[in-house]
Amino acid sequence: MNDAYQGPTITSELGRLPIEAAADRNRLSRGTAGEVLDMIDGAPVAELLREHGSPLFVFSETTLRRKLRHFREAFTSRYKSMSFAWSFKTNRLDAICKIMKDEGWAAEVVSDFEYQKARRLGYEGSQIVYNGPYKSRASLKTALEEGALIQIDSWDELAVVEDLVEELDDTFDVGLRVWLTTGHAPVWSKFGFSMINGEAQQAARRIIRNPRFRLHTIHCHVGTYVLDPETYGVATQILLGMRKNLSDDTGHLVPCLNLGGGFPSNSLLHGMIGPAEVVIPPIEDYADAIATELNALPKRDRPLLRLESGRFLVDEAGYLITTIVAIKGGPRPDAPAETLSSIVVKEQMLLSDTARLSYVLDAGINLLFTANWFAIQPYPGRRVETLPVPTRLLGCLCMEIDVIRDHVDLPRLQTGDHLTFHPVGAYNFDQSMQFIYLRPAVVLIGTDRKVHQIRRKETLDDIESAETLPAHLSG
């Protein structure tokens, strides 16, 4: 027998470079190869750009319908009495809102412009929930006349609505927006009546006492991208407590609770460690938290539960395809990719920001406003066989703060390469701005895989048609 010590045999067991092997063993890593996105629902990215120009917003009807059905199923399988509304401000493109309507979702609007848009899209007044901190008197009157549910946000608004119902000489269902604390930070206290100082209860009693009103809904929206499902369990408990107190005091059992939106999509905030599918709780956990509270009530006392989701439903359905228009910093642009040794990479990381490898894109925060908070993932349009290097993605605006990603690992790309950002379907189109560039085209890839242009690229005429030169400046 040979007792001599035998050292372990060290091999590159995966047959790959050590850096790649290490990354592959890391539970949170996706490996170093990096994902490529060259097709969206069967449509080649390069062809989409040839046809519609770059940058380009792309929406997937298949993904959107899948998310809607997933959300609906998660809640209706746990609680029977449900109503679903679509938060228009999350994405108000006609085609997107029509899909929501087609799937049976009511409209949740927050301004008189959105109200008109919903009506034009064929929503009846009775299919509209009207929220928001400022609703003009004229729009409140129209909403009452057309049977929309106004969710009253302040004492001033309550006074206007009280005044209007006298004029209109009828009785109306209304809702009341409240804010509360659940332990989730930050607390959204800008909207509605406070439950903490009792004004929400006071406003509710004033509405119930008025024979022209029926208090139909108590509504709260605790925030957006809420990562703790239990927040909703606590909010439900608090609203049920308020409903019970009101019922005990006045005999009126409010028929509907509206818990707003706020359910997260598969996106990460800057600084969060992913992958998103691991970090973001599934929608079923949120449905459980709410349904557990509601199902604890005797059947006859259970309210209608309304939800008005946005981000969860549409974010993953949206992509923004961009093109690299310039490369700055890093190794010389004409250096062959193989020269990007680890020493060069280290040098780049140690050098100042301006020397870092940066790609200038033909889109910036003018189109990706949510990039201020979210680390939106860029996917190259082709596979590049170099190791990823720390890269900065700069937008095309003349603003130093227009940086879409300050640090993202990408393989070495060339001017003219495409980067597709995903998910970007929530809020980015609606919050896009015409600061130095006009908005690009938007296409929808239908469930039939056909590409439909749903918004054309804007032109100078679109902007100028709203302007007038005074006589002394024209000519």
Q: Which amino acid is at 303?
A: P
Our measurement of the distance from residue 300's CA atom to the centroid of its chain's CA atoms, rounded to an integer in Å, reads 35
Residues 86-105 that bind ligand PLP (CB under 6 A): 87, 90
Task: List the structure tokens of 48.
Answer: 């989409």
Contact call for residue 308 and ligand PLP (CB under 6 A) = yes
Shortest distance, CB of residue 256 to ligand PLP, whole angstroms?
Answer: 15
How far is 475 from 471, CA to CA, in rounded Å? Answer: 8
Q: Is 41 helix (H, G, I), strand (E, B) or coil?
A: coil
> Please, what is the Cα angle at 311 between 306 and 312, to 5 degrees?
75
Q: Which of 66, 44, 38, 39 is nearest to 447 (CA)?
A: 66
Contact call for residue 84 and ligand PLP (CB under 6 A) = no
Shortest distance, CB of residue 134 to ligand PLP, whole angstroms?
Answer: 13
Single out the residue of 233, 260, 331, 411 in contact with ligand PLP (rule: CB under 6 A). 260
Q: Which stretch binds ligand PLP (CB under 6 A): 59-67, 255-263, 360-368, 394-402?
A: 255-263
Contact call for residue 131 and ligand PLP (CB under 6 A) = yes
Q: Identify the helix (H) or strand (E) that includes residue 391.
A: strand 389-394
Contact call for residue 216 and ligand PLP (CB under 6 A) = no
Q: Which stretch binds ligand PLP (CB under 6 A): 12-20, 32-40, 302-310, 461-469?
A: 302-310
Contact call for residue 262 and ligand PLP (CB under 6 A) = yes
How far is 378 from 294, CA to CA, in rounded Å? Answer: 41
* Burial grade of 69 (CB within 10 A; 0-12, 13-18, 19 or more): exposed
Contact call for residue 60 and ligand PLP (CB under 6 A) = no
Q: Which residue is nearest to ligand PLP (CB)?
A: 261
Between 84 and 359, name the residue whose CB sits nearer to ligand PLP: 84
Contact call for residue 263 and ligand PLP (CB under 6 A) = yes
Between 182 and 309, name the residue whose CB sits nearer to ligand PLP: 309
Contacts of 23 (CB under 8 A, 6+ apart): 29, 31, 32
Between 108 and 316, name the residue whose CB sits nearer to ligand PLP: 108
Strand 318-328 to 389-394 pairing: unpaired
Q: How many residues bind ligand PLP (CB under 6 A)?
A: 16
Shortest distance, CB of residue 89 to ligand PLP, whole angstroms?
Answer: 6
Residues 360-419 that bind ligand PLP (CB under 6 A): none
Q: Which stretch binds ligand PLP (CB under 6 A): 17-25, 65-73, 304-312, 347-355?
A: 304-312
Compose the 423-452 pattern: x for residues touching ligand PLP by CB under 6 A, - for all others: ---x--------------------------
Residues 270-299 that bind ligand PLP (CB under 6 A): none
Single out the residue of 63, 111, 217, 224 in contact with ligand PLP (rule: CB under 6 A). 224
How far is 336 from 24, CA to CA, in rounded Å? Answer: 27
Cis peptide before 55 (omega within 30 of 0): yes
Q: Which stretch binds ligand PLP (CB under 6 A): 242-250, 260-268, 336-344, 447-455?
A: 260-268
CA distances in angstroms from 184 to 226, 230, 238, 311, 432, listed in the order given: 8, 9, 14, 18, 29
**Contact (Cβ atoms closer than 8 angstroms) between residue 388 and residue 359:** no
* Burial grade of 285 (CB within 10 A; 0-12, 13-18, 19 or more): middle
Neighbours of 110 (CB within 10 A): 21
Give contact residues for ligand PLP (rule: CB under 6 A). 87, 90, 108, 131, 221, 224, 260-263, 308-312, 426
